[in-house]
Homo-oligomer: A and B are copies of this chain.
Amino acid sequence: MDRGRLEAFSDGVFAVAITLLALGLSVAGPGHGSLAHQLASRWPAFVAYVVSFFTVGIIWVNHHALVSNLVVVDRVLLFLNLVMLLFVVMVPFGTVTAADYLARGGFDPRVAVAVYGAVLAGMSAGFGAMFEWSLREGRTKVPVPRDQWWAARRRFVSGGLIYLAVIGLAFASAPAAFALTGTVAVYYVFERTPAVPGSRTSPSGQEPDPDA
């Protein structure tokens, strides 16, 4: 068991991915119309940046809470963690793609937002698999009682299901589907899914650490 480097590596990937999001903000520069106009016309990039930033930030907070509660780290978890990070790393790609096409006409915006939703759904599924792995007895310091498994899953699956809905909704209305991803981010900021139920007492939303 060695949570330290799992956290260090994951934190590094989260940090780089969240920082690369801002590469999508750059304007074309001098010679492409007034700067004010360039900035104004790139409003989808700014909106998408904020939504993606908080979406990745929330996953990081949940990842943090989940991993800090683990007592066992095995190969399966390392693999599931890599799967989740595979999608975290794709978030800047999804964000730039959505932002570039969101304000355009035709079918492209729908594809772009569906891609964005698919990346977030993958990230959510990867995290859900890590959570599912952690439910087995003896893997966490503070176990989730068996009768709360379905309640806990419902909360997680609902997040993942919304992103699946985003993919479908995108083909009906790209802006509506994109707005839904923003709503999820706002919702989770104010009502974070507890990574591990039964951990309500600690002020930080985390389990009391017996090692601390």
Bound-state CA distance A20–B23 (Å) is 9
Q: Which residues of B contact A189 (CB under 8 A)?
A: 79
Interface string of A106-117 (1 = CB under 8 A from B): 011001100100
Q: A1-B204, A108-B30, A206-B2 are in contact. Are A39 and B9 (CB under 8 A)?
A: no
Q: A107-B36, A111-B35, A206-B2 are in contact. Are A13 and B13 (CB under 8 A)?
A: no
Q: Which residues of B contact A64 (CB under 8 A)?
A: 2, 5, 9
Most chain B CB atoms below 10 A, which of A16, A39, A74: A16
Q: Which residues of B contact A21 (CB under 8 A)?
A: 89
User: B22 near A92 (CB under 8 angstroms)?
Assistant: yes
Q: Which residues of B contact A2 (CB under 8 A)?
A: 64, 68, 204, 206, 209, 212
User: B115 near A74 (CB under 8 angstroms)?
Assistant: no
The interface residues of chain A, by DSSP majority, are classed as: helix
A158 within 8 A of B: no
User: B57 near A82 (CB under 8 angstroms)?
Assistant: yes
User: A18 near B96 (CB under 8 angstroms)?
Assistant: no
User: B203 near A74 (CB under 8 angstroms)?
Assistant: yes
User: B108 near A35 (CB under 8 angstroms)?
Assistant: yes
Chain B residue nearest to A88 in the complex (CB): B19
Bound-state CA distance A36–B110 (Å) is 10
User: A7 near B5 (CB under 8 angstroms)?
Assistant: yes
User: A100 near B54 (CB under 8 angstroms)?
Assistant: no
Q: Which residues of B contact A39 (CB under 8 A)?
A: 111, 115
A141 within 8 A of B: no
Bound-state CA distance A23–B17 (Å) is 10
- What are the 4 A-B residue pairs with the smallest beta carbon separation, nearest first? A12-B15, A16-B19, A35-B108, A57-B82
